[in-house]
């Protein structure tokens, strides 16, 4: 049976060299980084070396990088800190954010009485900058704007530079969940007006269970986890040395041939869009996901002409792995909150699929998938 993996927005296959580096680290660097003997010092050095290299790759300084268990924890740490430690009393976000932001914001509203406002987005999932300015000018209370760099379901790319400038103009703090962007974009935090950023290693061919939060220099960090003084007091718990080493190598490898890989995936997505339009004329693209200027090359979200309730299962039985929405929600019956926000009720009833690509995706596999979709739609 063929095995075709097209769910890279959910997680990516780990580089072989990263697996080898993690295994070697587990064998040779097993000391507790908090221990003062040579084993502990070796582990601590490995962490700090990785921190410096990761910071360099994203245009930050080592002191601005805090290791977390992944993007969700990084978002939680940033949002909670903004309220509890930095005096934020209002958060502006959008209804299209990942639940790692939406659910935290909801809790902060309920528990901390934080005012929450949602900026308008258009049918392509693009943030309305005029509305953002209107919201920021309507209230002088200390505000955090939280908007994702790349939407994990429809692939819309945030106008990060413009929004950073607007936030600076209104003296608002700016947080971006960059889980779908780090490792796929050339990010220079030194030149971007971004105060906080979240990243996760398993989205760029690294291990699961490790990520990082970026806090611009000058912002103190109050921990959510208490117990020890690890991560400069920002996060208690013995550091996952081997995973940190693996994340650094994965990021380095992902950015090593970044332009070449993006060009390859760009061509794949372009040809896939054209083939889908040719073979399944009634198929539609959700948001602007087929627009290669507005969306990431790694994500394409399509809406089929009718409802096929068993399609995901049938594709899986054929060895084709895709998503019906965010993988974080795929086990629920709620459906995609992003598609609910963008589509009419009638169109929500049609089956939507999210295809997400990587440098390991092959054109012949995409051709095969289109043939299977045609076959299923003809039944």
The two structure tokens encoding residue 240? 């996952």
Is residue 328 part of the annotated active site? The answer reads yes
**Residue 227 backbone zone (phi > 0: left; psi -120 to 50: alpha; other: beta):** left
Distance, in Å, from the CA atom of 90 to the CA atom of 101, rounded to the nearest integer, reads 14
* Assigned token pair, 104: 């935290």
Give 179-230 as a DSSP string.
Answer: TTTBTTB---TTTS--SEEEEEGGGTT--TT-EEEEE-TT-----SS-SS-T
The distance of Cα 153 from the centroid of its chain, to the nearest Å, equals 10
CA distance 323 to 153: 9
Measured between alpha carbons, how far is 152 from 325 in angstroms, rounded to an integer? 9
Count of other CB atoms within 10 angstroms of residue 343: 19
Q: Which one of 129, 262, 275, 328 is the catalytic residue?
A: 328
End-to-end CA distance of the chain: 22
Question: Rounded to 5, what percent of the chain is helix, strand, coil?
Answer: 45, 15, 40
DSSP strand E in the chain: where? 4-5, 65-68, 90-93, 115-118, 143-146, 173-177, 196-200, 211-215, 284-285, 299-303, 320-321, 352-356
Q: How many residues does the chain have?
A: 379
Cα distance between residue 193 and residue 163, in whole Å: 8
Q: What distance lies between CA 258 and its chain's CA centroid? A: 17
Let me know: does 198 contact 71? Beta carbons within 8 Å: yes
Q: Which residues are catalytic?
A: 328
């Amino acid at each position: 049976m063929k095995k075709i993996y097209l769910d890279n927005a959910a997680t990516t296959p780990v580089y072989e060299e990263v697996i080898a580096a993690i295994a070697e680290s587990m064998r040779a660097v097993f000391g507790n980084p908090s221990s003062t003997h040579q084993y502990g010092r070796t582990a601590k050095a490995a962490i700090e070396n990785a921190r410096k290299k990761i910071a360099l790759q994203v245009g930050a300084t080592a002191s601005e990088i805090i290791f977390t268990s992944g993007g969700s924890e990084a978002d939680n740490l940033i949002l909670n800190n903004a309220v509890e430690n930095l005096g934020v009393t209002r958060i502006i976000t959008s209804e299209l954010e990942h639940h790692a932001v939406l659910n935290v914001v909801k809790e902060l509203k309920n528990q901390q009485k934080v005012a929450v406002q949602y900026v308008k987005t258009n049918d392509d999932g693009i943030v309305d900058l005029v509305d953002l300015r209107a919201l920021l000018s309507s209230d002088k209370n200390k505000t955090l704007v939280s908007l994702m760099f790349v939407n994990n379901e429809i692939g819309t790319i945030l106008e990060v530079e413009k929004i950073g400038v607007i936030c600076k103009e209104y003296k608002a703090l700016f947080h971006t969940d960059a889980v779908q962007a780090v490792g796929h974009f050339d990010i220079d935090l030194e030149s971007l007006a971004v105060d906080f950023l979240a990243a996760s290693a398993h989205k760029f061919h690294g291990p699961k269970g490790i990520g990082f939060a970026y806090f611009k220099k000058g912002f103190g960090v109050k921990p959510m986890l208490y117990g020890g003084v690890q991560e400069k007091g920002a996060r208690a718990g013995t550091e996952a040395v081997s995973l940190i080493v693996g994340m650094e190598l994965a990021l380095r490898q992902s950015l090593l041939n970044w332009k070449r890989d993006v060009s390859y995936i760009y061509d794949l997505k372009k040809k896939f869009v054209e083939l889908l339009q040719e073979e399944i004329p009634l198929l539609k693209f959700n948001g602007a996901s087929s627009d290669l200027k507005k969306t990431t090359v790694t994500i394409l979200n399509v809406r089929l002409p009718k409802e096929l309730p068993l399609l995901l299962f049938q594709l899986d039985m054929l060895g084709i792995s895709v998503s019906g929405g965010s993988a974080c929600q795929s086990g629920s019956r709620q459906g995609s909150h992003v598609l609910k926000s963008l589509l009419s009720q009638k169109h929500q009833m049609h089956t939507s699929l999210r295809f997400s690509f990587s440098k390991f995706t092959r054109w012949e596999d995409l051709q095969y998938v289109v043939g299977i979709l045609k076959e299923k739609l003809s039944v």
